[in-house]
Amino acid sequence: MPPLAKGSSHASAIKVMSIRTLIWNENVHERTNPIVGELYPSGIHGAIAAGLSADKDIVVATATLDEPEDGVSAERLAATEVLIWWAHKAHDEVSDAAVERIARRVHEGMGLICLHSAHFSKIFRRLMGTPCALKWREVGEKERLWVINPTHPIAQGLAAYFELEHEEMYGEPFSVPEPAETVFVSWFKGGEVFRSGLTYQRGGGRIFYFRPGHETYPTYYDANVLRVIRNAVHWAHNPSPAWSAVAVGTNVPAEQAPEPLTSTRSDGEAGGGR
């Protein structure tokens, strides 16, 4: 299951019937902050689900932290083709076992979309292998998102840029690995810039990090933001069967090599590769 060429879409090669998408939200701010509860009465996950529901190719389900197994049981993940993750206040409350279940599914081919402060989530840091730290400021300033890769599938249907009147600022440096592609760069009224749309691949799974989404602003009702997330679901979807052996190392004896071989290993030499 080799990765596709940069910017290409799994869906472009195979007809998509439906994309089983799970929107996960810790659902803490909505229950503890009246401003957030009023803004997102069905939760941030509910607002995103409503925004995706118009796409007939996406079948949406939602999950929250307070559900059994943190809402991401092995059975639920096995039925998920793209996972959307929003988190902020309760990163440490997600169990390590849940993180490993998600990481395995990503390696097998499940797409992952991490939103806003999910840059500090356990699963994003687990898959990036870096601190994923950044600068921030929360004063409700304007964010302008520039499309710097206009031919990318995630950017389809967008103008050269779009703006969010009020957002939290994120600023560089952003301590993540060099991405496969940078789709968006944000400018904030205070002067900072930030790489706000980044793609990665881990094993068979595609990952997209998208910056906007502070909980006290109506970001997830914005048509452009929802378009980006919808596009990202299609881009991240891998219709191939799960790469179930992705973590399995296999010894291939010399007699099973595609071309004839004669072993030159010394007697008693154990060999390696494990």
pLDDT of residue 1: 39
CA nearest neighbour of 62 among 17, 18, 25, 91: 25
8 Å CB contact between 233 and 61 = no
* Percentage of residues in the chain having pLDDT higher than 90: 86
pLDDT of residue 270: 56
* Model pLDDT for residues 172-229, shown as the tens digit of each residue: 999 999 999 999 999 999 999 999 999 999 999 999 999 999 999 999 999 999 999 9
Pairing of strands 205-210, 111-115: parallel
Angle at 120 between CA 159 and CA 6, to 5 degrees: 45
Name the CATH topology of 10-129+199-246: Rossmann fold (3.40.50)
- Percentages of the chain per state (helix, strand, coil), in multiples of 5: 30, 25, 45
How far apart are the C-alpha atoms of 54 and 56, rounded to whole Å? 6
Unique residue bearing structure tokens 């898959």: 127
pLDDT of residue 263: 72
CA nearest neighbour of 144 among 207, 178, 180, 191: 191
Residue 90 makes CB contacts below 8 A (sequence gap 6+) with 26, 28, 65
Pairing of strands 82-86, 111-115: parallel
- Locate the domains of the chain by residue range: 10-129+199-246
Q: Residue length, the chain? A: 274
Tokens of 230: 């919808």
pLDDT of residue 262: 81
Tokens of 114: 């991490």
Residue 197 makes CB contacts below 8 A (sequence gap 6+) with 145, 154, 182, 183, 184, 185, 208, 209, 210, 211, 228
8 Å CB contact between 99 and 194 = no
What SS3 class is residue 163? strand
Please provide the DSSP assignment of 192-216 as one string.
-EEEEEEEEEETTEEEEEE----TT
Mean pLDDT of successive 10-residue segments in the chain (274 residues)?
Answer: 49 66 97 97 98 96 97 97 97 98 98 98 98 98 98 98 98 98 98 98 98 98 98 97 92 91 68 58
Pairing of strands 19-25, 82-86: parallel
